[in-house]
Structure formats: structure tokens, C-alpha cells
Amino acid sequence: MSIVTNKLLLDNAKAGRYAVAAFNTNNLEYTQAILSAASQLRAPVIVSAAKSEVDYMGGHVFVAMVRAIAEDLPIPVAIHLDHGPDYEEAVRCLNYGFTSIMYDGSAHSLDTNISITKEVVRAARACGVPVEGEVGVIGQAADGPEGKKNDMTGIADPLECERFVKETGIDFLAAAIGNAHGIYKKKPELRFDVLEEIEKRTRVPLVLHGGTGIPEEDIRRAITMGVSKINFSTVMRKGCIETLTDTLVKNPGDWDLMKQLSPAKEKMIEIARQHIIMCMSDNKARLFE
Ligand SMILES: [Zn+2]
């Protein structure tokens, strides 16, 4: 199969009551791990990059890399901009060939968020690419082992979500329902009542950010309530760095970089597999044939 738009993936997921896992990537090994896990499980998958990751890899290089690896795999893959910070970045990524764009205007007032999101939607539509918007503030649970901040406030208002979707014409909505990025300090309390109300008022596929550490039963419940895309980033980086650290400690003075990196790549494949299964998207690639 090949590179597809995220709209194709998420409309199918919503109808089939499963979610497509979206994994951020930083480099070749990371991307190979995501696509290899998805391919083994015959799962549709989204490879994402936030602006810092796009800058690190180079947008054209990132898209070419995903395309080259995905080309021969039996699964549909979307290439997504995560938390696009402004209109300009969205347009740059459309130019690179991304097949899904998120614009995150949640730091702005609702009016400003709506007006910039509308501009992004107009540009993306012209390229046949769907847009994810954000309402409420999906904060940072903890950033690294010290836990720099603990800002889990900003639950989305369902009425604001309804207005946002209606006025912007976005395709998918990331709404804050008690989820956060990073490592949760305590079990996250997802607001399923808010999720239900948002789904009822918007009817678009919903996106759950901060998937790392949300218990499996909550992930499954959210999916049955309309969540069609779940983002996982921290869990993969944590597994990669911990495994890489162990390997380096065990093999000091071994300058074979491929040998040092391989266990970390295997670990990321294992983690991606677990999360794809959690999203119930394994064996769903056949729905796209
Ligand atoms: Zn996010």
C-alpha cells in the first residue's frame, strides 16, 4: 500500500471503532521501528513529527524517508505534522508533502484560534490534506524525570468545541479531557463525560494526545466513544534511551554504531506493537485494500 491522507485512515477508524496509533519520530531507526511494528501487525499507522522534529530531520528528508520505507509495506501510512505552531509551518509541511496537518492554536483565545485554524484549513484543502485542530489546553504531565511542571488544566468546553468545528471546518479534533504529554505523576483521570458531550456535538474523529501511561481500559473506552487517533511519543523515546544507555554501558569501547543502536530499535518495535494492539488497529490494513 502507500502513503494516504489521514482523513482516509481516521474516517475508517471511527466507523470501525478502533484508533490509529500516531507515533512521533526523530530519525531513521525510530521510523523503521514504527513502520516495522505496524507492518508486522498489518495496521494502518501515522508517522508524526512536531516542528522541532521536522527541523531536526529536515522536512523533505523526513517525508522521503517515510515514503521510501512505506513503499513496499502492506499497510496505509499517513505523514503528520504534530502541534503545528503557526500558519507558516503548516504551509511549509504541505509543501514537503505531509498528508495530515495539525495546527495547535490552543494557546490563543478561541476567536484567534478559530481564525488561524480557518486559514490553515483553506491552505490544506487546496492540497487535499486534512487538518487537526485543538481546543482546551493539553498540558505537560511531567517533562523528564524531574517533572518540571504539572499543568494538566484546561479541560475543553464542549460548546466551544462545537463552535470551533463548525466555524473552522477541521477534520479531526484534539480536545483536552484530562490527558497530558509526558509521564503522568498519578493515574490520569480522563473526563469521559466531557468526551461524550464533545463527540455528540462535533461528530468528527477525535484525537487523544498524551497516550503514554493512559491505562489500557481507558484507551479502549475512549475508542468506543469516538477517539480515532491516539498519539504516543514519550513511551517510545523513553524505551529507546533506556535501552541505548544499557547497551552502551554493557559494551564500552565498541564503536560499531549499528550494533549499539540495534537493541534500542528492537525495543521501539516492541513498544510500538504493544500500543498498536492497545488501539485495536492490528489487522485493519485489510480494510484499505
Ligand atoms: Zn500532543
Residue 127: C-alpha distances to residues 51, 89, 94, 194, 277 (Å): 20, 15, 7, 33, 32
Residues with catalytic annotation? 82
CA of 99 to the centre of ligand 1 (A): 18
Element (H, E) at 94: helix 87-96
Give the model confidence (pLDDT) of 177-236 as tens digits.
989 898 888 888 899 999 999 999 999 999 999 999 999 999 999 999 999 999 999 999
Question: For position 74, what pLDDT does the model report?
Answer: 96
With b for 16 or more beta-carbon neighbours within 10 A and e for fewer, the 116-150 pattern comes to bbbebbebbeeeebbbbbbbbbbbbbbeeeeeeeb
Residues 6+ apart with CB under 8 A from 88: none
CB 178 within 8 A of CB 188: yes
Mind listing the domains of the chain with CATH numbers?
A: 6-288 (3.20.20.70)
pTM for the predicted model, two decimal places? 0.95
Give the model confidence (pLDDT) of 54-73 as tens digits.
999 999 999 999 999 999 99
CA of 83 to the centre of ligand 1 (A): 6
CA of 235 to the centre of ligand 1 (A): 13
CA of 9 to the centre of ligand 1 (A): 19
